[in-house]
């Protein structure tokens, strides 16, 4: 017995630290507890956690549905009367539906599809799915490969009358049909624009209505506007990719497709951009399992530093003549254009059709242009006569972010967002670019404009970091006068807040929680006064299953000064007398950080992973989330491989110093995408600290990741020759360069048709490790793209196996069946 233990313990030395004595015998990995909180099981323990108000005809009144362990209920709220009531008697409605549909329904299991109010607000309409067989339409059968599959389950169209409290069946012709996906409507809705064969087309309303009934109606009359569009240099309808050997895509070019145009308010003009991407190099993935023959998917993909020989073209079309006029907006080589559009409101809809208006008036509108290195941004005012006037300029030595401006005072002034003082703030300008005043200021980050009261000149917005003694990521809602006076917090409370504001800006629904509190939803007015409590989430079944909230924490970054904010997840059977390995779940940003701030369902790779027997932590890092200072956000500029690693290392060290139950000699790290890249980098930059990594879909060689993310966050060097020619170069450190440093256990995983982070990233990492004579593990997930799709659960258990084996010394890697997955499904 003693001899066996000695041999077993000796085999674990590489994973506990060379030469270190084991303080306690290995502990069994708790697969059963991890299985108890699978995504499928969580669906039956967590119900509604927030309210999405459905504002009725753009008024302040709204309805919402909310689900608990007792079922779903529907409510209507009148803020002015401070009144909330059920939308209908669920028991009565369920009984009436049962009589009509002939399928038994009770109030607790009532499911209504597509609920909406009629325009007079006296009735609501919805659909109920039945088990009754009915014959499919000719159009539905035409789209099927199996033409003999002619039946479907009948969908009943029903109407509830508030006055009589009765449910009646109505014809499906009364259903408001969603506009066809390819249709872009003119402001009078009489003309519909679309792309076909890479060119721009239009048809009148009568022919569009024919297409609604049957898109293949041979009598539909179409009119071609442009004739020079080709693939990758199209006026609209360019495919993201093409697939060789896929029959369904053979007629893709002849199908009608969406074209992104924006209109002047009077409908006289619309704008459209066009880019010649034919010279951009293609990339490929092979789908080995998608069809009878493996298929080759080809798509355009520009990598950082590569030559882009053409520029985005900007056109104004006159609706009457359909004639395009190109507008010269050139300033920077390979510039990016943001064609701003109006924020949707009640005037954006006509006859249930959505109209996409440009940001401006009938004569002028606003767009922005950004240099390729994103260090220069111009806000432009463009006149329909073609005149282009740069009115606001932003310049920086690091990359800049940009947001859509807000027009105020009937378009005479605008609110502009800028980080020019190191923080995201709002500035008030006239439309000629003259600064009137800075609206917000201080060491906090303004996130989004949520509304404006033109009568009182009050701006409503969300921001983070302003409230002292709170996590600076917690979002709050504020109001401020456009002159910069009177900033006011509207939703106090040490929580993360997500808000939904009515169009009038008089009321907003506030959903609030932390990772360690139960979500609540309240209704507040524009002064921040509570109108009523709406809901508190039902987590009773979750807690009954043994769930325990995680714990937020704060540590110092590697510089000893910067505060970092994280969350610790413990096993639900936590024993304070034990010591546990620590696993960090990472995502480096810089566009976000993988640190939950509010309660949610994202327990897959964090809460559930802890249940095997680990302390799992997530924490921010310098160079991470943009909702802090510009310094914090851009810290990794020019060092996109190593910038966040020190902060992950010192976090584990500080937590181990703080808590005796954390074993700093057993540190694991995992992440997906940028987190896959980061977790592998950690193993190679700090090979004596991080012992085990599971890296999913990592961009290990950022010089073959997409240009937009890589150049933006790492930087690209722009060079202008004596002749005035502009070129770009890109250099970055890669994980593959450090393959020789690997000491611990590393599992690399990728989907084989990942067209975001190409599988070549993982395969090149594998190649480098083989050439460095390293032992490691590699998992290829067939037919999966970047998110791993229906193999996500399989990957989770492989990850659990890996950490359990090499951090706990116990796993089911020697078993063939994944019983934790199999027992959830009926076996055939």
Report residue 7's pLDDT band, with 50, 70 and 90 as the boundaries.
very low
Helix, strand, or coil here: 249? helix
User: Measured between alpha carbons, how far apart are the two ends of the chain, in Å?
Assistant: 43
Q: What is the pLDDT of residue 151?
A: 82
Q: Distance between CA 733 and CA 746 in Å, rounded?
A: 20
The per-residue pLDDT for 1 is 40
Residue 87, burial from CB neighbour count under 10 angstroms (0-12, 13-18, 19+): buried
d(CA 8, CA 41) in angstroms, rounded, equals: 36
Q: What is the pLDDT of residue 536?
A: 98
CB 34 within 8 A of CB 820: yes
Q: What integer pLDDT is reported at residue 2 of this predicted model? A: 40
96 phi and psi angles, rounded to 5 deg: -65, -40
The CA-based angle 473-475-478, given to 5 degrees, is 135
Per-residue confidence (pLDDT) for residue 242, from 0 to 100: 81
**Domains, the chain:** 24-44+542-707+738-822 (3.40.50.1820), 54-174 (no CATH), 406-535 (2.120.10.30)
CA distance 508 to 495: 16
Which residue is associated with the tokens 């932590």?
617
Q: What is the pLDDT of residue 176?
A: 62
More confident residue, 22 or 516: 516
CA separation for the pair 304, 659 (Å, rounded):
43
DSSP 583: E
pLDDT of residue 22: 42
Number of Cβ within a 10 Å radius of residue 15: 20
Cβ burial of 7 (10 Å; 0-12, 13-18, 19+) is: exposed
Place of tokens 């084991």: 22
> What average pLDDT does range 545-549 have in this prediction?
96
Q: At 428, which helix (H) or strand (E)?
A: strand 425-430
Show Cβ contacts of residue 480 under 8 Å, excluding neighbours closer than 6 positions. 439, 440, 458, 459, 461, 486, 487, 488
Return the number of other C-beta atoms located less than 10 Å from residue 572's C-beta.
16
Please report the pLDDT score of residue 174 as a whole number: 63
More confident residue, 449 or 1: 449
Q: How far apart are CA 71 and CA 108, in angstroms?
A: 5
The arithmetic mean of pLDDT across residues 312-332, rounded, is: 97
**H-helix or E-strand containing 763?**
helix 760-771
Average pLDDT over residues 661-666: 98
712 pLDDT higher than 50: yes
Between CA 749 and CA 781 the distance in angstroms is: 7
- Residue-wise pLDDT for 800-820, tens only, equals 999 999 999 999 999 999 999
What crossing angle do the helices spanning 645-658 and 674-685 adopt, rounded to 10°? 70
- Determine the Cα–Cα distance for residues 493 and 476; give it in Å rounded to an integer: 9
Residue 469: other Cβ atoms inside 10 A: 5
Q: What pLDDT, on a 0 to 100 scale, did the predictor assign at position 88?
A: 98
**pLDDT tier at 173 (50, 70, 90 boundaries)?**
low
Answer whether 201's CB lies under 8 Å from 222's CB: yes
**174-208 pLDDT, tens digit each:** 666 789 999 999 999 999 999 999 999 999 999 99
CB 687 within 8 A of CB 741: yes
pLDDT at residue 368 greater than cutoff 60: yes
DSSP 689: T
DSSP annotation of 825: S
pLDDT tens-digit readout, 274-309: 999 999 999 999 999 999 999 999 999 999 999 999
Answer yes or no: is pLDDT of 116 > 90. Answer: yes
745 band by pLDDT with thresholds 50, 70 and 90: very high
pLDDT in tens, 475-499: 999 999 999 999 999 999 999 999 9
The answer, yes or no, to whether residue 19 has pLDDT greater than 80, is no
What pLDDT score was predicted for residue 135?
82
* DSSP three-state, residue 227: coil
CB of 703 closer than 8 Å to CB of 732: yes
> What share of the chain has pLDDT > 70, as a percent?
94
The whole-model pTM stands at: 0.93
Q: How far apart are CA 643 and CA 660, in angstroms?
A: 29
What are the pLDDT digits (tens) for 58-115? 999 999 999 999 999 999 999 999 999 999 999 999 999 999 999 999 999 999 999 9
Give DSSP secondary structure letters for 768-779: HHHHTT---EEE
User: Is the bond leading into 590 cis (omega within 30 degrees of zero)?
Assistant: yes
Pairing of strands 413-418, 425-430: antiparallel
Using the predicted structure, report yes or no on whether residue 9 has a pLDDT greater than 60.
no
| Res 32: pLDDT | 96
Within 8 A by CB and 6+ apart from 789, the residues are 751, 783
Q: What is the pLDDT of residues 331-365, one digit of tens each?
A: 999 999 999 999 999 999 998 899 999 999 999 99
Q: In which band, very low, low, confident or very high, does the pLDDT at 239 lie, cut at 50, 70 and 90?
A: confident
Note the pLDDT of residue 77. 98
User: Alpha-carbon distance 330 to 319, whole Å?
Assistant: 25
Q: Which pLDDT value is given to residue 5?
A: 35
Residue 27's pLDDT is: 86
Over residues 122-142, mean pLDDT = 84
What per-residue confidence (pLDDT) applies to 26?
Answer: 72
> Which pLDDT value is given to residue 146?
64
| Exposure string for 652-679, b = 16+ CB within 10 A, e = fewer | bebbbeebebbbbbbbbbbbbbbbbbbb
Position 8 scores a pLDDT of 37
Tell me which residue has tokens 């005149």.
387
Q: Residue 718 in contact with residue 779, Cβ under 8 Å?
A: no
């Amino acid at each position: 017995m003693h001899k066996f233990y000695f041999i077993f313990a000796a085999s674990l030395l590489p994973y506990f630290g060379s030469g270190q004595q084991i303080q306690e015998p290995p502990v069994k990995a708790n697969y059963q507890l991890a299985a108890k909180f699978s995504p499928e099981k969580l669906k039956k323990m967590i119900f509604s956690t927030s309210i999405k108000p459905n504002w009725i005809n753009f008024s302040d009144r709204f309805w919402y549905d909310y689900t608990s362990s007792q079922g779903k209920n529907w409510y209507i709220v009148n803020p002015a009367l401070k009144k909330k009531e059920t939308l209908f008697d669920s028991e009565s409605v369920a009984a009436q539906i049962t009589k009509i549909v002939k399928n038994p329904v009770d109030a607790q299991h009532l499911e209504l599809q597509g609920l909406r109010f009629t325009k007079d607000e006296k009735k609501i309409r919805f659909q109920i799915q039945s088990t009754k067989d009915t014959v499919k339409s000719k159009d539905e059968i035409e789209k099927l490969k199996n033409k003999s599959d002619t039946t479907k389950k009948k969908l009943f169209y029903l109407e509830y009358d508030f006055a009589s409290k009765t449910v009646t069946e109505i014809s499906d012709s009364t259903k408001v049909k969603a506009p066809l996906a390819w249709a872009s409507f003119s402001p009078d809705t009489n003309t519909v624009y679309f792309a076909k064969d890479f060119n721009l087309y239009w048809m009148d309303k009568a022919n569009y209505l024919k297409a609604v009934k049957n898109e293949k109606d041979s009598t539909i009359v179409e009119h071609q506007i442009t004739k020079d569009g080709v693939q990758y240099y199209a006026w609209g309808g360019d495919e993201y990719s093409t697939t060789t050997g896929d029959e369904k895509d053979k007629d893709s070019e002849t199908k009608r497709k969406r074209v992104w145009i924006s209109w002047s308010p009077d409908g006289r003009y619309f704008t459209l951009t066009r880019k010649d991407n034919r010279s951009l190099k293609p990339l490929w993935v092979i789908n080995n399992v998608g069809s009878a023959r493996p298929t080759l998917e080809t798509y355009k993909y520009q990598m950082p530093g590569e030559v882009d020989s053409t520029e985005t073209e900007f056109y104004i079309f006159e609706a009457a003549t359909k004639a395009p006029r190109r507008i010269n907006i050139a300033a920077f080589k390979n510039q990016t254009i943001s064609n701003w559009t109006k924020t949707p409101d009640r005037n954006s809809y006509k006859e249930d059709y959505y109209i996409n208006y440009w940001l401006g008036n009938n004569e002028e509108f606003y767009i922005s242009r950004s240099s390729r290195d994103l260090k220069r941004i111009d806000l432009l005012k463009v006149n329909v006569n073609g005149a282009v006037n740069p009115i606001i300029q932003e310049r920086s030595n690091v990359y800049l972010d940009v947001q859509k401006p807000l027009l105020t005072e009937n378009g005479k002034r605008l609110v502009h967002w800028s980080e020019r003082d190191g923080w995201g703030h709002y500035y008030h300008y006239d439309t000629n670019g003259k600064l009137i005043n800075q609206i917000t200021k201080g060491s906090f980050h303004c996130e989004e404009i949520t509304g404006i009261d033109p009568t009182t000149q009050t701006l409503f917005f969300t921001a983070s970091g302003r409230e002292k003694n709170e996590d600076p990521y917690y979002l709050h809602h504020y109001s401020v006068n456009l002159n910069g006076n009177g900033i006011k917090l509207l939703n106090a409370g040490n929580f993360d807040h997500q808000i939904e504001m009515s169009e009038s800006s008089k009321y907003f629904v506030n959903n609030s929680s932390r990772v360690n509190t139960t979500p609540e939803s309240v209704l507040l007015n524009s002064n921040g006064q509570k109108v009523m409590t709406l809901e508190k989430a039902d987590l009773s079944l979750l807690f009954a299953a043994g769930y325990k909230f995680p714990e937020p924490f704060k540590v110092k970054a590697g510089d000893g000064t910067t505060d970092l904010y994280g969350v610790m997840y413990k096993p639900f059977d936590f024993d304070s007398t034990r010591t546990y390995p620590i696993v960090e779940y990472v995502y480096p940003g810089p566009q976000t950080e993988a640190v939950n701030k509010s309660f949610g369902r994202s327990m897959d790779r964090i809460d559930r992973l802890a249940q095997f027997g680990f302390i799992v932590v997530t924490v921010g890092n310098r160079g991470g989330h943009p909702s802090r200072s510009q310094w914090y956000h851009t810290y990794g500029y020019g060092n996109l491989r190593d910038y966040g690693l020190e902060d992950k290392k010192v976090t584990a060290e500080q937590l181990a110093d703080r808590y005796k139950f954390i074993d700093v000699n057993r540190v694991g790290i995992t992440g997906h995408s940028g987190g896959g890249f980061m977790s592998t980098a950690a193993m190679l930059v700090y090979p004596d600290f991080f012992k085990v990594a599971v890296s999913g879909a990592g961009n290990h060689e950022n010089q073959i990741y997409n240009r937009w993310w890589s150049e933006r966050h790492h930087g690209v060097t722009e060079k202008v020759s004596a002749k005035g020619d502009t070129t770009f170069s890109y250099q970055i450190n890669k994980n593959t360069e450090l393959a020789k440093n690997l000491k611990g256990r590393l599992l690399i995983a990728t989907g084989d048709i990942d067209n975001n982070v190409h599988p070549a990233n993982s395969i090149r990492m594998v190649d480098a490790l083989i050439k460095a004579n390293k032992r490691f593990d590699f998992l290829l997930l067939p037919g999966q793209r970047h998110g791993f799709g229906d193999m996500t659960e399989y990957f989770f258990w492989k990850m659990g196996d890996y950490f359990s084996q090499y951090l706990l010394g116990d796993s089911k890697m020697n078993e063939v069946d994944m019983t934790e997955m199999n027992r959830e499904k009926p076996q055939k």
